[in-house]
Amino acid sequence: MKYQTIEEIYQANEKIRANLKSTIENLSEEQATALPDGEKWSVAKIVEHLSMVEHGMTQIAAKLLRGAQQRGVKGNGEARISDEFLRQVAGVADKKVEAPEMVVPTGAAKLSESIEKLNANRKELNDLRPLFESVGCEGFTFPHPAFGQLNANEWLALLGGHEARHTAQIKRILEKM
């Protein structure tokens, strides 16, 4: 997850999204809502969760970037990701993490609805790309419940890592069916 540029993060996130889509694109509603033994969330709930988290992360990044832009902080397309962030993310790679209450899925959304929300979220994230590339993010942070203060670049990288983690979880669930 060590990126040198914003371009690299966006490319990685698109590959991760393509992997998620290919994993869930042909699932029936029955498959999407099935809950194999030992699982807490169905595939549909995981995708609902992803749509909620991506929306929140996009809003946080937008706020941070706009704040930096208003203060005239320039960037050059480099990814500003701290070693501390990388250590913290690596520390939870194989650990089970409980989602904060605000992003726990309700189960009310159909898989197709959550996919539509993911698509809308990604459009918003892509619309922010010029800001990510032209605005510096140093000194502008927002707290993550597990990782502490993160800048916009770290939120962008975390978004992809979070989605990759849940895509792997979905694949494990589908293998149980």
* 48-77: pLDDT as tens digits: 999 999 999 999 999 999 999 999 999 999
Helix axes 6-24, 152-176, angle to 10 degrees: 20
Burial class (CB in 10 A: 0-12, 13-18, 19+), 177: exposed
**Chain-wide mean pLDDT for the chain?**
94
Helix axes 6-24, 111-127, angle to 10 degrees: 170
Phi/psi at 136 (nearest 5 deg)? -80, 145
Phi/psi at 104 (nearest 5 deg)? -80, 125
Please say whether the beta carbons of 32 and 43 come within 8 A. Answer: yes
Q: Which of 157, 153, 121 is nearest to 140 (CA)?
A: 153
Q: What is the pLDDT of residue 2?
A: 84
> What is the identity of the amino acid at 36?
P
Q: What predicted TM-score, i.e. pTM, was given to this entire model?
A: 0.94
Q: What is the pLDDT of residue 140?
A: 95
Q: Catalogue all structural domains in the chain, each as residue range(s) with its CATH number.
A: 6-176 (1.20.120.450)
The fraction of the chain above a pLDDT of 70, given in percent, is 99
